Structure 1
Amino acid sequence: MASGAGLSAAQEAPSAAELDWRWKSQLPESVRNSLPVFCEGGYLPSGTGDGGLIASGDAAASDGEAVPLHASGLTARYEIDKELYLQGDVRLSQGSFQVTGPEARYNQSIGLVSIQGPLVSRGEGFVLTGERAKYSVESGRFDINTATFLLHGPEMRGRAGSLSRFDDSLVEIRDGMLTTCGPQQNDWAIVASDIKLDQAEGFGTAKHVRLEVLDVPVFYWPYASFPIDDRRKTGFLYPQFGSSSAGSGAFIAVPYYLNLAPHYDATLTPQYIHGRGLFNELEGRYLSTLGQTTLQLGYIDNDSTYKDENPGENGQRWALDASTRAALGSGWNGYGDFSSVSDEDYLGDLNRSLDINQATHLQRKGGVRYQGPNQYFDVYINDYQTVSDRIAQADRPYAQLPEVIYAGTAEAGWFEAGLESQYTWFYRDNETLTGLDRANGQRFRARPELALPMRALWGFSRPSVSLDYTRYELDDYSAGDGAFDRTVPVVEWDNGLYFDRQSSLFDVPYNQTLEPRLYYAWADAEEDQNYIPSFDTDVQTFRFEQLFQPDRFVGGDRVGDANQLTVALTSRFNDLLTGAERARVSIGQVQYFDDREVTLFGEGGGTRSRSPLAGEVVLNPLQNLQIRSSGLWDPDTGETEEGRSQLVFHSQDYRYLASVGHTYSKDNLEQSDIAAVLPATDRVSLIGRWVYDSTLDRTVGSLAGIEYNNCCWSVQLVHQNYLTDDQELDSRILFQVQLKGLGGSGGASTSISNAIYGFDERERRRFGTP
Structure 2
Amino acid sequence: MALAPVVAVAQEKTGQALTAAEIDWRPKNQLPPEFQAQLPVFCDGGYLPSGSVGAQVPLFPEGGSGSAPLEASALNARYELDAELYLQGDVRVRQGSFQATGSEARYDTRSGDVALQGPLVSRGEGFLLTGESARYSVQSGQLDINTATFLLHDSEMRGQAASLSRVGENQVLITDGLLTTCGPGQNDWAIVASDIELDQAEGFGTARHVRLEVLDTPVFYWPYITFPIDDRRKTGFLYPQFGSSSAGSGGFLALPYYLNLAPRYDATLTPQYIHGRGLFTEAEGRYLSRLGESVLQVGYINDDSAYKDDYPGADGERWALDFSTLARLGGGWTGYGDYSVVSDEDYLSDLNRSLEINQATHLQRRGGVRYAGQNQYFDAYLNGYQTITERIADVDKPYAQLPEVLYAGTVGLGMFEAALESQYTWFYRDNDTLTGLDRANGQRVRAVPELALPMRALWGFSRPSVSLDYTRYDLEDYTLGDSSFDRTVPVFEWDNGLYFDRRSSLFDIPYNQTFEPRLYYAWADAEADQNDIPDFDTGLKSFRFDQLFQRDRFTGGDRVGDANQLTVALTSRFNDLLTGAERARVSLGQVHYFDDREVDLFGQGSSDRSSSPLAGELVLNPIENLEIRSSGLWDHDTGNTEEGRSQLIFHSQDYRYLATLGHTYSRPEDLEQTDIGMVFPVTNRLSAIGRWVYDSGLDRTVGTLAGLEYNNCCWSVQVVHQSYLTDDEQLDNQVLFRIELKGLGGSGGASDNIADAIYGYDERERRRFGTQRR
Range of TM-score over shorter length: over 0.9
Whole-angstrom distance in 1 between the partners of 2:33 and 2:207: 37
2:5 is aligned to none
Q: Is the 8 A contact 2:133 2:145 kept in 1?
A: yes
The AA in structure 1 aligned to 2:337 is G
Cα 1:57/1:39, change in 2 over 3 Å: closer
- Give the drift of 1:68: 1.3
Matched, 1:707 2:709: yes
Deviates more, 1:100-109 or 1:229-238: 229-238
Q: Which of 673, 681, 684 pairs up with 1:682?
A: 684
Whole-angstrom distance in 2 between the partners of 1:291 and 1:590: 46
1:4 is aligned to none
The AA in structure 2 aligned to 1:745 is S
- Give the drift of 1:31: 2.7
- Give the drift of 1:138: 1.0
Matched, 1:732 2:734: yes
The AA in structure 1 aligned to 2:483 is G
Whole-angstrom distance in 1 between the partners of 2:228 and 2:46: 21
2:8 is aligned to none
Cα 1:183/1:49, change in 2 over 3 Å: farther
Q: Is the 8 A contact 1:445 1:556 kept in 2?
A: yes
The AA in structure 1 aligned to 2:556 is G
- Give the drift of 1:472: 0.5
Q: Is the 8 A contact 2:65 2:98 kept in 1?
A: no
The AA in structure 1 aligned to 2:732 is D
Q: Is the 8 A contact 2:240 2:254 kept in 1?
A: yes
The AA in structure 2 aligned to 1:20 is D
- The secondary structure found in structure 1 opposite 2:364 is strand
Deviates more, 1:250-259 or 1:198-207: 198-207
Counterpart mapping for 1:27-106 below 5 A = 27-45=31-49, 48-49=50-51, 52-56=53-57, 66-106=67-107
Matched, 1:353 2:357: no
Q: Is the 8 A contact 2:60 2:170 kept in 1?
A: no
Matched pairs, number: 761
Counterpart mapping for 1:474-493 below 5 A = 474-493=475-494
Whole-angstrom distance in 1 between the partners of 2:62 and 2:713: 41
- The secondary structure found in structure 2 opposite 1:312 is coil
Matched, 1:752 2:757: no
Spell out, residue by residue over 1:279-334, the C-alpha distance to the aligned partner (whole angstroms, 9 max, x if none): 11111111212111111111112222222222222222111111111111111111
- The secondary structure found in structure 1 opposite 2:769 is coil
The AA in structure 2 aligned to 1:743 is G
1:177 is aligned to 178
Whole-angstrom distance in 2 between the partners of 1:193 and 1:231: 25
Cα 1:197/1:155, change in 2 over 3 Å: farther
Q: Is the 8 A contact 1:490 1:523 kept in 2?
A: yes
1:528 is aligned to 529
Whole-angstrom distance in 1 between the partners of 2:61 and 2:459: 72
Cα 1:509/1:200, change in 2 over 3 Å: farther
Cα 1:265/1:517, change in 2 over 3 Å: same
- The secondary structure found in structure 2 opposite 1:12 is coil
Cα 1:226/1:60, change in 2 over 3 Å: closer
2:7 is aligned to none
Deviates more, 1:399-408 or 1:325-334: 325-334
Cα 1:258/1:8, change in 2 over 3 Å: farther
The unaligned stretches of length 5 or more in structure 1 are 1-6
- Give the drift of 1:63: 11
2:211 is aligned to 210
Q: Is the 8 A contact 1:10 1:131 kept in 2?
A: no
1:694 is aligned to 696
Whole-angstrom distance in 2 between the partners of 1:589 and 1:175: 77
Using the aligned pairs only, state the percent identity. 75
The AA in structure 2 aligned to 1:753 is A
Whole-angstrom distance in 2 between the partners of 1:185 and 1:337: 49
- The secondary structure found in structure 1 opposite 2:729 is coil
Deviates more, 1:111-120 or 1:225-234: 225-234
- The secondary structure found in structure 1 opposite 2:759 is coil
Cα 1:487/1:444, change in 2 over 3 Å: same
- The secondary structure found in structure 2 opposite 1:767 is helix
- The secondary structure found in structure 2 opposite 1:484 is strand
- The secondary structure found in structure 2 opposite 1:751 is helix
Counterpart mapping for 1:219-234 below 5 A = 219-234=220-235
Cα 1:225/1:8, change in 2 over 3 Å: farther
Whole-angstrom distance in 1 between the partners of 2:390 and 2:37: 57
- Give the drift of 1:34: 2.2
Cα 1:74/1:312, change in 2 over 3 Å: same
- Give the drift of 1:656: 1.3
Q: Is the 8 A contact 1:229 1:741 kept in 2?
A: no
Deviates more, 1:692-701 or 1:475-484: 475-484
The AA in structure 2 aligned to 1:14 is L
Spell out, residue by residue over 1:81-115, the C-alpha distance to the aligned partner (whole angstroms, 9 max, x if none): 11112222222111221222222211121111112
Spell out, residue by residue over 1:133-191, the C-alpha distance to the aligned partner (whole angstroms, 9 max, x if none): 21111111111222111111211111111111235763211111110111000000001
Q: Is the 8 A contact 1:124 1:168 kept in 2?
A: no
1:517 is aligned to 518
The AA in structure 1 aligned to 2:282 is E
The AA in structure 2 aligned to 1:115 is L
Whole-angstrom distance in 2 between the partners of 1:13 and 1:90: 16
Counterpart mapping for 1:451-462 below 5 A = 451-462=452-463
- The secondary structure found in structure 2 opposite 1:622 is coil
Whole-angstrom distance in 2 between the partners of 1:198 and 1:768: 26
- The secondary structure found in structure 1 opposite 2:492 is strand
- Give the drift of 1:200: 5.6
Whole-angstrom distance in 2 between the partners of 1:63 and 1:185: 37
2:673 is aligned to 671
Q: Is the 8 A contact 1:154 1:229 kept in 2?
A: no
2:619 is aligned to 618
Q: Is the 8 A contact 2:135 2:145 kept in 1?
A: yes
- Give the drift of 1:541: 0.2
Deviates more, 1:108-117 or 1:235-244: 108-117
Spell out, residue by residue over 1:690-747, the C-alpha distance to the aligned partner (whole angstroms, 9 max, x if none): 1111111111111011111111111111110111111110111010000111000000
Matched, 1:163 2:175: no
1:17 is aligned to 21
Whole-angstrom distance in 2 between the partners of 1:622 and 1:227: 44
Cα 1:256/1:310, change in 2 over 3 Å: same
Counterpart mapping for 1:185-204 below 5 A = 185-199=186-200, 201-204=202-205
- Give the drift of 1:60: 9.1
- Give the drift of 1:680: 1.3
Q: Is the 8 A contact 1:375 1:407 kept in 2?
A: yes
Matched, 1:507 2:492: no
The AA in structure 2 aligned to 1:709 is N
The AA in structure 1 aligned to 2:708 is I
Whole-angstrom distance in 1 between the partners of 2:377 and 2:31: 56
How much is the aligned-residue C-alpha RMSD, in angstroms? 2.0
Q: Is the 8 A contact 2:156 2:181 kept in 1?
A: yes
Counterpart mapping for 1:206-605 below 5 A = 206-605=207-606
The AA in structure 2 aligned to 1:757 is Y
Whole-angstrom distance in 1 between the partners of 2:689 and 2:582: 31
- Give the drift of 1:492: 1.0
Spell out, residue by residue over 1:338-383, the C-alpha distance to the aligned partner (whole angstroms, 9 max, x if none): 1111111110111001100111111100111111111111100000
Whole-angstrom distance in 2 between the partners of 1:503 and 1:309: 68
- The secondary structure found in structure 2 opposite 1:725 is coil
Cα 1:61/1:544, change in 2 over 3 Å: closer
Cα 1:652/1:10, change in 2 over 3 Å: closer
Whole-angstrom distance in 1 between the partners of 2:242 and 2:229: 24
1:635 is aligned to 636
Whole-angstrom distance in 2 between the partners of 1:49 and 1:466: 74
Q: Is the 8 A contact 1:19 1:49 kept in 2?
A: no
Cα 1:105/1:360, change in 2 over 3 Å: same
- The secondary structure found in structure 1 opposite 2:250 is coil
Q: Is the 8 A contact 2:64 2:141 kept in 1?
A: no
Deviates more, 1:130-139 or 1:181-190: 130-139
- Give the drift of 1:198: 3.7
